[in-house]
Amino acid sequence: MKLRSAHWYAGQDRNAYIHRAWMRRGTPNHAFTGHPQIAIANTASDLTPCNAHLNEVAASVRNGVYEAGGIPLDLPVVSLGETQVRPTAMLWRNMAAMATEELLRANPIDGVVLLGGCDKTIPSLLMAAASVDLPAVVVPGGPMLTGTFRGAPLGCGTDVWRLSEEVRGGTLTQEEFTRSESSMIRSRGHCNTMGTASTMALVAEALGTVVPGVAGTPAPDSRLLQAAHGTGRLAVDLVRADRRPRTFLTKASFHNAIVALAAIGGSTNAVVHLLAIAGRLGIDLTLDDFDRTGSHVPVLVDLQPAGRFLMDDYHRADGLLAVLREVRDLLDPDALTVTGKPLANYLEDAPIWDAEVIRTRAKPLIAEGGIAVLRGNLAPAGALIKPAAASPHLLRHRGRAVVFDCIEDFHARIDDPDLDVDADSVLVLRGCGPKGYPGMPEVSNMPLPKKLLEQGVRDMVRVCDGRMSGTAYGTVVLHVAPEAAAGGPLSVVQTGDFIILDVEARRLDLDISAEELACRTPNEATLIGFANPRRGWERLYVDHVQQADSGADLDFLVGSNGSEVSRESH
């Protein structure tokens, strides 16, 4: 087997000398001959608190790589903390993917173990791995344990939204709200709800890039370190078998990921990430695949924000494989995993240990709860809604639009007692798409007007070209494409217009004639949005980012560039 790293280390010329000499520092001679060089792409960072424990996970991976005869190499990569990074972590997902791809390609490595946890880290790592196409496998960092407040479990993220609305509605004091802060995060790990972090870990397993049965293991659980050790061993085997992402990631893999996404009641953010990953592989995945494959799949996981329980309950109930066994007939049986075996092979011994947390197919949480794709004159390229998180009575609704041109406009006016809004109104927030913000932030689940909260209103139809946190809930239409800043119809909606939402019919329409819609023109500020960057990454991003229905990747990053490097460095 000819190792890729031999192009750096083999031979007796000056360049081989340089590559070996600078890497020695105590490394034995045999490390450079015949031993796969395995990078550990690690997103650990104190500023990404959900990933801070990944150095410990990396140590277990190192042990596994060594044990299997490989050489482990730490490779810190761009880390994005969802709660910390402004204006939004999504602005840098593509940068993180591009940087990781280039580091993997440029360095003398034969395979890679990808360590991620917080929302954007696993998607960016998978985008990179798909483009460079070296043997790769993911170890998800895992969810935190459940904290409690006033005797009740807290859903990380979900209960932030709920409790903050209770403060605004006058049913919870500011002092109590602040006291809950120290109870929200009980341990290491990412959010314990079915937010984007949990969703992407589980979807990555359904896709075939995680060793089956690992995703969802809580971060403090010692079995995560055991799995990391085993994954390190597997990474060496992947190199020897030349098992690259393109050898097992197919359209069938994405079919299974979509079924899993629906069955777990996963985050709408997974749609934009899966589209981007597929784009790197050259797989023709569209919004229609999500509706066609996933919209009628039952939601089987009773987990916040759609249900009651949390991720350590889910793991106790036996996790993803137990869920997939219930919908086995909907899966593609031939889709392979990183182990070289079909995903279906792992479902034989996957019982449900708690039928309250993971429902049976006969008693689902929601009979048809997958993500629905809406189209209409307000979203000609598509929009999303998560029916499982919505209020049933609002899934078919006609209401008067109350329009906000940007998030600052929204914050300035939403609690104005003179705002002309009622429970039947449709809140419209624009300027929050990939170009307009820039970066497509998680602002679509707009807080409700304070005066309506005080009246007991807890949900309204909301429409936005941005995203929503996977931990959030409500009747929210999001990812509207094209976005307002790209000249989409959302840019010409006026306060007082009527908007019609019909989820069953998959429609989102502005209730005006085609002639009037064609005659309307947005003002220049709406088209530009908030973003008018002059330099740096933001300039590059705004000039080249695609719309949400294509995964919001940069147009010049779509597709693969392989792992070849044609020139020497000296």
Residues found in the chain? 570
What would the pLDDT profile of 196-254 be if each residue is shown by its tens digit?
999 999 999 999 999 999 999 999 999 999 999 999 999 999 999 999 999 999 999 99
d(CA 261, CA 188): 24
Residue that wins the pLDDT comparison between 561 and 492: 492
**Residue 39 has which token pair?**
């990078």
The letter for the amino acid at 503 is: V
Measuring CA to CA, how many Å separate 125 from each of 283, 348, 364, 499, 561? Answer: 18, 30, 33, 39, 15
488-496 average pLDDT score: 96
Chain-centre distance for alpha carbon 517: 34
Average pLDDT over residues 142-151: 92
Torsion of CA 503, 508, 510, 512, to 10 degrees: -80
329: which 2 tokens?
């007939």
Is the pLDDT at 565 greater than 90? The verdict is: no
Distance from C-alpha of 400 to C-alpha of 377, rounded to nearest angstrom = 16
Q: Per residue in 81-91, pLDDT tens?
A: 999 999 999 99
What H or E segment, with its residue span, contains residue 537?
A: helix 536-544
Measured distance CA(520)–CA(512) in Å, rounded:
11
Q: Which two tokens stand for residue 67?
A: 């044990």
Q: What is the pLDDT of residue 531?
A: 61
Please report where in the chains the tokens 């098992």 appear, as a residue.
Answer: 243
pLDDT in tens, 422-478: 999 999 999 999 999 999 999 999 999 999 999 999 999 999 999 998 777 899 999
- Going through 386-522 in order, the beta strands assigned E by DSSP cover 396-404, 426-429, 461-464, 476-481, 498-502, 507-510
Rounded Cα gap, residues 271 and 440, in angstroms: 13
Orientation of helix 269-281 relative to helix 251-263, angle to 10°:
170
185 CB burial (10 A radius; 0-12, 13-18, 19+): middle
Bridge partners, residue 40, by sequence: 74, 113
* Domains of the chain, first to last: 35-146+186-346 (no CATH), 147-184 (no CATH), 372-550 (3.50.30.80)
pLDDT above 70: percentage of residues in the chain: 99
- Measured between alpha carbons, how far is 86 from 203 in angstroms, rounded to an integer? 26
Contact (CB, 8 A) for 344 and 331: yes
Q: Is the pLDDT score of 561 beyond 90? A: no
Please tell me the pTM assigned to this model: 0.95
